[in-house]
Structure 1
Amino acid sequence: MIGALITRGLTMILGYAYPAYECYKTVETSQPEIEQLHYWCQYWILVAILTILERIGDSFISWFPFYGEAKLAFFVYLWHPKTKGANHVYDSFFRPYVSKHEPVIDRNLSELKLKASDAAFLYFRRAASYFQTTLFDIFSKINTATAAAPPPPKPQKQPSSLSENKQEEDDEDEAKNK
């Protein structure tokens, strides 16, 4: 358990963090060497493919003894300057396979992009329709509620004040008549 935790930590440091920093240093130099950029691109392509394959087959391969240690050793092999493993694995295995299947991969990616954009458009249209319908329902409920409500009552004067006002008017009329 502790060994697996240590191995994962080392894999994160030596398989991802250190190569990422080395790649950063290569990119940020004023005149980056094309060979170094090429090397780090190969490394990250291989790491991405391995990560995808690992996620797909994790339940089948992660229980092998020393799997984490082998993965760590493979990552170090890929980036270490003495072994140049990324160049070897890329040129010997990855490039020939992808070159052979490149037209099929490109066609499948184009189809996937079209399907994804169609699906996104369809879901957007459905969401817009749903929100439009919901908004109209809300407005119609508000309109119905305000139309059905009786008008607010007009304020009426107190009866005592009406009689007082009437009395005052009568007193004024009598004063004028005299």
Structure 2
Amino acid sequence: MMGSFVSKTLLLTFGYALPAYECFKTVNKSKPEETKQLIFWCQYWIVVAFLTVVEGFGDTCISWLPLYSEAKLAFFVFLWYTKTEDSVHLYNSFLQPYIVKHEKEIDHSLSMLKFKAMEFVGFAWNKAVIYGQKGFTGVLNNVTSQVHLDKQGSTSP
């Protein structure tokens, strides 16, 4: 086992940073002949995003397994290794058909989630303003009562 720090560093480097940089270079060139490469990196990121979300729910169940981080690192390298193009295979065989089949439900769920998030932000903002006003009013009352007491204390013999 490499250890958690080393394997996480390698995973961040080879699972995220290197592919992100390759994607950046491909997008930044923006020449028609790089379209295949651009599609490859976009499909890679779609697969990685999906796996990261799934892992967020299942990580606590399997992260205790020996060599988990190392296996994860190997899997990410396996996905972007361009000779095998396994991210393309995963995308075309599993993710794309699933997402296309459920696209309307996903869009609806995401719009509802955005709506509820905006409602929550509005609610939280209103509560923060109310608490801020109460706190500010309390501080002002405290300061004015101190000033009033100081004036009374200075006028008495």
Aligned to 2:110: 109
Give ranges in structure 2 of 5+ residues lacking alignment: none
| Mapped partners of 2:85, 2:37: distance in 1 | 11
Matched, 1:45 2:46: yes
| Mapped partners of 1:123, 1:3: distance in 2 | 41
Matched positions, count: 153
* Identity rate, percent: 45
Aligned to 1:18: 18
Give the TM-score taking structure 1 as reference length.
0.73
RMSD across aligned positions (CA): 2.4
Give the TM-score taking structure 2 as reference length.
0.81
- Deviation sequence 1:110-161 (CA, Å, 0-9, x none): 11111111111111111111111222222233333333423846xxxxxxxx
Aligned to 1:141: 142
Deviation (angstroms), 1:51: 1.6
Local SS of the residue matching 2:25: helix
Check whether the contact 2:4–2:69 (CA below 8 A) recurs between aligned residues: yes
1:151–1:117 distance in 2 versus 1, CA, 3 Å: same
1:97–1:129 distance in 2 versus 1, CA, 3 Å: same
Deviation (angstroms), 1:83: 0.9
Check whether the contact 2:26–2:37 (CA below 8 A) recurs between aligned residues: yes
1:139-178 matches, cutoff 5 A: 139-148=140-149, 149-150=151-152, 152=154
Deviation (angstroms), 1:80: 1.6
Deviation (angstroms), 1:75: 1.6
Deviation (angstroms), 1:17: 2.6
Local SS of the residue matching 1:83: coil
Aligned to 1:29: 29
Deviation (angstroms), 1:93: 0.3
Aligned to 1:161: none
Deviation (angstroms), 1:3: 6.1
Counterpart AA for 1:143:
T
Aligned to 1:174: none
Q: Which moved more, 1:87-96 or 1:58-67?
A: 58-67
Give ranges in structure 1 of 5+ residues lacking alignment: 154-178
| Mapped partners of 2:5, 2:123: distance in 1 | 45
Local SS of the residue matching 2:102: helix
| Mapped partners of 1:7, 1:147: distance in 2 | 64
Deviation (angstroms), 1:9: 4.2
1:2–1:70 distance in 2 versus 1, CA, 3 Å: closer
Matched, 1:87 2:116: no
